Amino acid sequence: MVNKVEQIINGFRAILYPKFYGNGMTEELLYALMCGIMNKEQAAQMIDYLPELRKQLEMDVEATYNGDPAAESFDEIICCYPAIKAMINYRIAHRMLKLGVKLVPRIITEKAHAETGIDIHPAATIGHHFSIDHGTGVVIGATCIIGNNVKLYQGVTLGAKSFPLDENGHPIKGIPRHPIIEDDVIIYSNSTVLGRITIGQGTIIGGNLWVTEGTKPGEKLMQKN
């Protein structure tokens, strides 16, 4: 299965960005590959999703370009920036998960994790114009909800502070335990945001901070000198 999943990832990348990943892939071939690991209805819906997927990724590329003065072109972003590779995989995996595909979405995001050092759970919800600068060490948990125009830097963790256990001492599944990040938030490198808290719209969180309480819109959290 893992080899088939890798072929599917490469197939999506080739159709989305043939200039960089082109390998003769067609929608018909991609559909046939997906039918090997999911049902035909799910595979057909993934093919139908391609225009929306392309639009979402274009917005991620645009946000990354606009947020990085070192970037010289969209082509450079697509070809060289690890965050875009991670977001391609995440947005494919998230859609598959919503369609009821089992296991495969997690394999897809773990492939991106191994390739880029960016760990995004496929169940996380991420809005448009999302960008990650550099990216190494970023972790986004399963129940995270991230709004639009959000930017993270390397080493940021959006994680869980704690979780309740059942009578047998096992974690209770499905409980929201990761942060809600509202629109226009920036979180700088190596900061950790934990628990089901809300980071208000326009908040700026400086580097190397440990955040376990929500913020008001427009708040700025910085280390004291």
The segments of the chain whose pLDDT lies below 50 read 225
Q: Where in the chain is the domain with CATH 2.160.10.10?
A: 124-225
DSSP state of 146: E
CA angle (30, 53, 5) in 5-degree steps: 40
Q: Do residues 129 and 186 touch, judged by C-beta distance below 8 A? A: no
- DSSP H or E segment with residue 159: strand 157-159
Domain range 1-117, CATH class:
mainly alpha
Q: Where in the chain is the domain with CATH 1.10.3130.10?
A: 1-117
Phi, psi of 17 (to 5 degrees): -135, 70
Q: Would you call 151 helix, strand, or coil by DSSP?
A: strand
**What is the reported pLDDT for 24?**
83
Q: Which fold has domain 124-225?
A: UDP N-Acetylglucosamine Acyltransferase; domain 1 (2.160.10)
**What is the reported pLDDT for 225?**
47
Which pLDDT tens digit goes with each residue over 160-186? 987 788 888 888 888 999 999 999 999
Which candidate, 162, 168, 156, places its Cα nearest to that of 208? 156
Q: Do residues 122 and 108 touch, judged by C-beta distance below 8 A? A: yes
Q: Which two tokens stand for residue 171?
A: 């974690």
**What is the reported pLDDT for 207?**
96
**What is the reported pLDDT for 201?**
98
